[in-house]
Amino acid sequence: MTDLSAVPPVTPSVLVVDHPLVQHKVTLVRSEDTTTDNFRRLVREISQLLTYEATRDLAMETISIKTPIAPMQSPVLSGKKLCLVSILRAGNGFLDGMLELLPAARVGHIGLYRDPETLEPIEYYFKIPEDIHERLVIVVDPMLATGNSAIAALNRLKEAGVSTLKYVCLIASRQGLRALQAAHPDVAIVTAAIDEELNEHGYIVPGLGDAGDRLYGTK
């Protein structure tokens, strides 16, 4: 019989990208004085900087090419193709920037809203590429608050056969991180900040407010 106490727990990786450019932009994006157009631009820029870190371990292979001067062996991406999955609607603010860096990635969308009473996610939309189970999937949503939506989205993707997943957000609450790690210990998480609190409405404190409203100017 296996002695389970000897098996180390699966420790999912959480990467907080503390690069000065990211941290500077996070401060600007948090400020209530930031206008809708600047907010949108900053979210796009931060998403690209986080993508840079989230894709750091992509598989590579070497191919033969010729420069105008000489033949050479040079590295290119190989391995699983990518699919980005946006949790609507704020995820789309992240998606735009990421697609500029990963133009060949396929895209899925999961529509979830939070029941205002229970804060539980209710699914209203689910559209993913047919071959998603063959891809490395990066799920994006700027705010990891309770973790309920993230967990529900990852559950749905695993049900669809996806086995390699990452989760990228702008701000994570400590509580949301714990919940997500407990439910999906195999999923690596990349974030620009961890905030300690959630308020009674499930908003991250200090956070940045409602990411969807700020992206789309709906409030």
Kindly list the residues in this chain that would bind ligand URA in the complex (CB under 6 A).
90, 143, 145, 202-204, 207, 210-212
Active site residue 213: yes
Active site residue 195: no
Structure token digits, residue 80: 């699983």
Place of tokens 């620009």: 192
CB of residue 214 to ligand URA, shortest distance in Å = 8
How far from the centroid of its chain's Cα atoms is residue 120's Cα? Answer: 20
> 138 and 168 in contact (C-beta within 8 Å)?
yes
| CB-count exposure of residue 216 (10 Å: 0-12, 13-18, 19+) | middle
> 48 and 102 in contact (C-beta within 8 Å)?
no
CB of residue 207 to ligand URA, shortest distance in Å = 4
Q: Which helix (H) or strand (E) holds 112?
A: strand 106-114
CB of residue 21 to ligand URA, shortest distance in Å = 23
Closer residue to ligand URA, CB minimum distance, 143 or 193? 143
CA–CA separation, 171 and 191 (whole Å): 6
Closer residue to ligand URA, CB minimum distance, 26 or 102? 26
CB of residue 105 to ligand URA, shortest distance in Å = 24
- Strands 197-198 and 204-205, how do they pair? antiparallel
Closer residue to ligand URA, CB minimum distance, 126 or 203? 203
Q: Which of 118, 131, 178, 218 is catalytic?
A: 118
Q: Which of 41, 106, 114, 174 is catalytic?
A: 114
Closer residue to ligand URA, CB minimum distance, 108 or 207? 207
CA–CA separation, 168 and 171 (whole Å): 9
> 137 and 162 in contact (C-beta within 8 Å)?
yes
Positions annotated as catalytic residues are 114, 118, 210, 213
